[in-house]
Amino acid sequence: MALSTPLSQMSVALPIGIDGSSGSMIKVQSVSFTEKSCVPLLRLDTVSRKLSLKKRSTVCMSLQQQARRSKVSVTPLELEDPKETPLNLYRPKEPYTAKIVSVDRIVGPQAPGETCHIVIDHDGKVPYWEGQSYGVIPPGENPKKPGAPHNVRLYSIASTRYGDSFDGKTASLCVRRAQYYDPETGKEDPSKAGVCSNFLCNAKPGDKVQITGPSGKVMLLPEEDPKATHIMIATGTGVAPFRGYLRRMFMEDVPTFKFDGLAWLFLGVANSDSLLYDEEFSSYLKDYPENFRYDKALSREEKNKKGGKMYVQDKIEEYSDEIFKLLDDGAHIYFCGLKGMMPGIQDTLKRVAEERGESWEQKLSQLRKNKQWHVEVY
C-alpha cells in the first residue's frame, strides 16, 4: 500500500556525501519535502514488508530542495566584505613569518617525482582570494648574491580564503619537489635540487616559513554571475588554484556565493598515481553531476586518437565543439601549469578554429577583451 502521510509533511533521512580535508565521509541529513518536491514516491510492499522505489510514481520537487546538500560552514565571513583585492600585504624586504602546519605526500608510489600538499598557518594576517599566489623565501643565503637572502618563489594557493581548516587562518600550497638527475649517470645530483621546493617538502610541523604577497589578479574567480561556466585546464601542480575554486563552489557554505553554473576541469598528469586531489574532485562529480565535469589526461597510460600519448590538449580537442560553443556563450577559460603546456594547447585551438571557419587570432583577441581568457604558467 502507498504511504498515507502527505508528502508535504514527510521528512526523510538522506545520505549526503561531503569531502573534508582528511578524506571523505557520509553524513545523514534530514530533508523536509514541500509540495513541489521531485523524488521517487516510497511505497510499502505488504508482502515482503520492504520499502521499494516505484519509478512510475514520482512527484515534482523544487530545484532548491533538489540541490540542497550538506556543506561546510566557514568563518570569519568578514573575509567576504573587502571590495578590493588583497595585494602585496607583505613584500620580500619585510616578509611575514608563518608556520608549517602539515606536509603530506599526495601522489602514489608509481608517480614520477614527489608532490606534497603543504598547509601554512598565517594566523589570518595574510588574507588572500582564490586564484592568488604566495611568495616563499627559503632560508639560507643566495649563492649568486653573498649575504643576501634567496629570491622569492611564487606558488599558486591551493585553498580557498578560508583554508583547509575553514577558519581563515591557513593557506595550502601544492608543491612538486624539484630534483635533478645527471643525464649520463642517471643519478640524482642534490647540489642542483630546487632550493625552495625541497625546503617546503622537507619541512616539519612548527617550522617557520617566510611568505610574501598575496599577488596576482589574472586568475581571480569571477563571481558576479553564479550561473557562469568555468573551464579549467591544468597540468600537474597547476591544478592548485582550481582546487580553491572548486572547494568554494561545492564544499563551503558561503552565504554570498551560491554557485549554480558549470565547472569543467581538465587535468593532465603522467599516470593514475600522479593524479592530484582526485578523491576530492570525484566527490564533486558524484554530488553535483549537473554542475561539475572532470576529464583526465594520463600521458603514460592513455593514447590519443592518433595513437600517441594522451595530453591535456588531446582531451580539449575531443570536446572542442562543445568548448567553443561555451566560449561563444561567455564561458571563462583558465590555464595553469608549466609554460610548455601552452604551445600545444594553442595549436590545437587554432586548428579547431580554422576547421570551424574562424580566425583563432580574432577569437583570442575577443576572449581577452571580454576577460574570458586567464593564463598563469611558470
Task: Output the known binding site.
Answer: 156, 176, 237, 299-300, 309, 337-338, 376
Q: Which residues are annotated as a binding site for NADP(+)?
A: 156, 176, 237, 299-300, 309, 337-338, 376
Please give the Cα distance from 345 to 359 (Å, whole number): 16
Q: Quick one: CA dihedral 60, 64, 65, 66, positive or negative?
A: positive
Spatial contact of 112 and 188, defined as CB atoms under 8 Å apart: no
**Helix 341-355 vs helix 360-369: angle between axes, to the nearest 10 degrees?**
110
- Judge whether 156 counts as a catalytic residue: yes
Active-site choice (156, 172, 197, 215): 156
- Judge whether 378 counts as a catalytic residue: yes
Q: What is the CA radius of gyration of the chain?
A: 24
Q: What is the largest CA-CA distance in the chain?
A: 86
Spatial contact of 193 and 180, defined as CB atoms under 8 Å apart: yes
Active-site choice (155, 162, 245, 311): 155
Active-site choice (78, 279, 354, 378): 378
Please give the Cα distance from 207 to 68 (Å, whole number): 41
Please give the Cα distance from 137 to 110 (Å, whole number): 30
* Preceding peptide of 76 cis, ω within 30°: yes
Give the length of the chain. 378
Please give the Cα distance from 116 to 104 (Å, whole number): 5
Please give the Cα distance from 218 to 215 (Å, whole number): 10
Tell me which residue of 209, 128, 216 sits closest to 168, measured CA to CA.
Answer: 128
Tell me which residue of 211, 120, 112 sits closest to 158, measured CA to CA.
Answer: 120
- Judge whether 361 counts as a catalytic residue: no
Cell 613584500 sits on residue: 91
Residue 353: what residue type?
A: A
- Judge whether 336 counts as a catalytic residue: yes
Which residues carry out catalysis? Answer: 155-156, 336, 376, 378
